[in-house]
Structure 1
């Protein structure tokens, strides 16, 4: 048996394929594609999370597209974070190309152009299904972590939420939250102090500044109603294909705080809402987070800890998270250690730091007698990748340099008219794109303040009226008292007055 045949058997044995699976492509050895040596990923283990990494232009986005297509075909809904704006083409079939035909001939797979059921969502004013959540849904712990608050400030936030619960004040948007914070140290200071203890103006001031910082990144559009229901991410079409939910994020690359806030709220809501799935044999939902460094680079330590906890726990809900980034070192080690599938496209070694990073990356993959992993990482072509997955028993499959299959859908964006047509047919647009600003904490507290001010003015007027009445009474009493004095009575009598005037007249003569 020659080296190629031995390698072919090695790959086949590693991919037992007892259950449902996704074929990524065919294995390569010594730069040549081994036809029909398919590299498969069991559907059963896709909730074990994953990483798609590689230098710019090496094919990460197309790999993401291939995985999303195949998951959809298997009836698994998908969420894609579209930061570069190049994934909407999933809604249209590929136009094909001779290069694609050549690639699939080498792999040993037929190429069938297809479109897929797509829903376009947005966090901002871009066209799409509006994603929103209320402040109350976040809760005091999550809000405190997002704002990176101190322990004392987090305690104030907890008191604010407790006050709103006790007084039935809905916390829907950021203006509600700010209003209650201001009320706690101004108009409602006495009320808060009596019920919950004194709240420092320094603490509320610091929290307000953090909220303003979040608002400057566009968070005011995100907080509010109608809240998005995560169950709407689990839809399948009439043919049993899972919907691919594309979240348009092209205009928030410079607003990482908002991105982190949205990601954490979405993961927390999914974790708290979805039932425990156990070992079902297939994932419930797969989420791809493109440009993952945007989450981790700007996240506070508390936020990172929260993300790490959710990554560890959410797979029991049947949810898989896939981080897409240029270098594996963009992902914290505690998260990286939780990732079962790794698709590593080429890395470039331009500097000593790059070469060191490549050596470290190579150590994350299983040892193999067929490759010098560090060398292969720098020699992979476009649309080629090192792949390591978990088999049905949770063991790593053989490491394989892989020629990746091409996407079946369009490798380009939708035109404006195509996007408009897609959105016009969307049931979710009609459900979520009506903005609601119902009576909440902001309006109710303003009413309460207005009533209090009216009562205060009324009380002030009453007191002024009473004081005036008292003064008038006092004056009448004084006059009455003067009239009743016998000496004054005699001196002011007509007889005495005439006598005094008579004396004065004689003196003047």
Structure 2
């Protein structure tokens, strides 16, 4: 009993916040759940970023769902990256069952089924609010890092953007950017050399190949208008609940470059537009990035550096980032070190590599007098996890093996009809789902080239006309001389003379 009391006091010392919180579940010890040792996450620390990790089928997505629901209830908007397509049920209340009731009885939390305000977003051709951004909004530095170009090529991109600014050529989509790159080393070569110096066709060719590679992953759908305004991620419903924005990414798993491009664009836009918040009672926005390895897969060193920098800085804007992945090592150590909340579901040891990964995962958590962390990670059941969080003062709270509460919303997906009805009623769809292709760099340069070609043709025709005019007097004189010579030739010909003499002889006789 003394051990139980000590354990309860130990957990309560870090998970009994005085301010607002999310009740995640109850702590466990030796398979027993302690309802009076609730694991409560202070709302004010949830902009300190986090990790949800664990093997397939251990409950990561449901943990994500639980935290998103509770944030929404507290008036905090959420953005979920739904790579597997299993989060749409948040829009409908849970049907409940006896298993959920038994779980909540152990935890000591009443179960209340609820639905939540949801907005479906799309980065590709899937139904939902279109997310778009213009090339100009990226700028040459960010675009260079995404394309992973050399320093020389990055300099050329800077010149391209400068030229477009100087000549009022909007860079909206990749078609615009490719047109200006081609123009710089073709029809506009002399113009560029005069204003900015010589641009190598080999370098522009290399950049164009990188752009084509990005297009093949679907980036041509992402770049363009109308640009999505990140402030629309912060909407609340009439009851003050934050919207849960679900980005549908089921067709994006084989396009890591596009996913990285979008994420970097989104984080940069949020950082540049959201005001500084400092320490506040709750986050402004929380992002959950499911299958987080897709961000870091095939990312260049420059891109990784940019992501790490934004992760470190965006917290001051009141924005929390939560990475959801199977293995904690999917997240770079530089990013992992910035995370205040870590929720570790079970890992399974089937190979020597698995055992090594479990050992590394265990070392990411505080040493506990109550748990053998390395062994406990392999024995956790579905819906159970190790939780390491920060208390209200930002100090590490004790490690807690936790039985998690059940989601209040549906744990299954929406039907096609339910999904279509929600998307059809969306205000943001009406705002953003309109195809816009206004006059931009591509059209303006095409007109400029056509006008230049017409001017060249006009000048050539004028020169030919003048040459003809110069040649006309000479031709008339030449023609006159030719005629006179022909007449003289005829008059002096022997045949003509004989004919004339013959006529004369006849007249004399």
Q: TM-score, normalised by structure 1?
A: 0.95
Is 2:265 aligned against 1:265? yes
What residue in structure 2 maps to residue 293 of structure 1? 293
Whole-angstrom CA distance in 2 between matches of 1:415 and 1:9: 46
Is 2:18 aligned against 1:22? no
Q: Greater shift after overlay, 73-82 or 360-369?
A: 360-369
Alignment of 1:104-253 (within 5 A): 104-253=104-253
What residue in structure 1 maps to residue 385 of structure 2? 385
Report the 3-state secondary structure (helix = DSSP H, G, I; strand = E; otherwise coil) of the residue aligned with 2:51: strand
Offset from partner CA, 1:10-36 (integer Å, 9 cap, x none) = 111112412111111000001111122
What residue in structure 1 maps to residue 506 of structure 2? none
What residue in structure 2 maps to residue 84 of structure 1? 84
Offset from partner CA, 1:68-98 (integer Å, 9 cap, x none) = 0000000000000000000000000000011
Offset from partner CA, 1:372-407 (integer Å, 9 cap, x none) = 110111110000000000111111111000000000
Whole-angstrom CA distance in 2 between matches of 1:455 and 1:386: 74
Whole-angstrom CA distance in 2 between matches of 1:234 and 1:153: 37
Report the 3-state secondary structure (helix = DSSP H, G, I; strand = E; otherwise coil) of the residue aligned with 1:48: coil
Whole-angstrom CA distance in 2 between matches of 1:455 and 1:13: 81
What residue in structure 2 maps to residue 405 of structure 1? 405
Report the 3-state secondary structure (helix = DSSP H, G, I; strand = E; otherwise coil) of the residue aligned with 2:353: helix
Alignment of 1:38-53 (within 5 A): 38-53=38-53
Whole-angstrom CA distance in 1 between matches of 2:482 and 2:56: 103
Whole-angstrom CA distance in 2 between matches of 1:49 and 1:265: 19
Whole-angstrom CA distance in 2 between matches of 1:477 and 1:401: 111
Whole-angstrom CA distance in 1 between matches of 2:473 and 2:234: 79
Whole-angstrom CA distance in 2 between matches of 1:189 and 1:439: 23
Cα drift, residue 136 of structure 1? 0.6
What residue in structure 1 maps to residue 505 of structure 2? none
Whole-angstrom CA distance in 2 between matches of 1:431 and 1:228: 9
Cα drift, residue 472 of structure 1? 1.5
Report the 3-state secondary structure (helix = DSSP H, G, I; strand = E; otherwise coil) of the residue aligned with 1:438: coil
Alignment of 1:56-75 (within 5 A): 56-75=56-75
Alignment of 1:303-342 (within 5 A): 303-342=303-342
Is 2:110 aligned against 1:100? no
Structure 2 alignment gaps of length 5 or more: 503-509
What residue in structure 1 maps to residue 302 of structure 2? 302
Report the 3-state secondary structure (helix = DSSP H, G, I; strand = E; otherwise coil) of the residue aligned with 1:314: helix
Whole-angstrom CA distance in 1 between matches of 2:490 and 2:220: 85
Whole-angstrom CA distance in 2 between matches of 1:379 and 1:497: 126
Sort the Cα spacing of 1:189 and 1:104 in 2 relative to 1 into closer, same or farther, 3 A.
same
Aligned length: 502
Q: RMSD between aligned alpha carbons?
A: 2.2
Cα drift, residue 475 of structure 1? 2.9
Cα drift, residue 367 of structure 1? 1.1
Whole-angstrom CA distance in 1 between matches of 2:445 and 2:238: 48
Whole-angstrom CA distance in 2 between matches of 1:248 and 1:356: 34
What residue in structure 2 maps to residue 274 of structure 1? 274
Offset from partner CA, 1:243-290 (integer Å, 9 cap, x none) = 000000001111111111111100010000101111112110000000
What residue in structure 2 maps to residue 343 of structure 1? 343
What residue in structure 1 maps to residue 431 of structure 2? 431
Whole-angstrom CA distance in 1 between matches of 2:400 and 2:461: 86
Whole-angstrom CA distance in 2 between matches of 1:436 and 1:371: 58
What residue in structure 2 maps to residue 7 of structure 1? 7
Whole-angstrom CA distance in 1 between matches of 2:217 and 2:474: 65
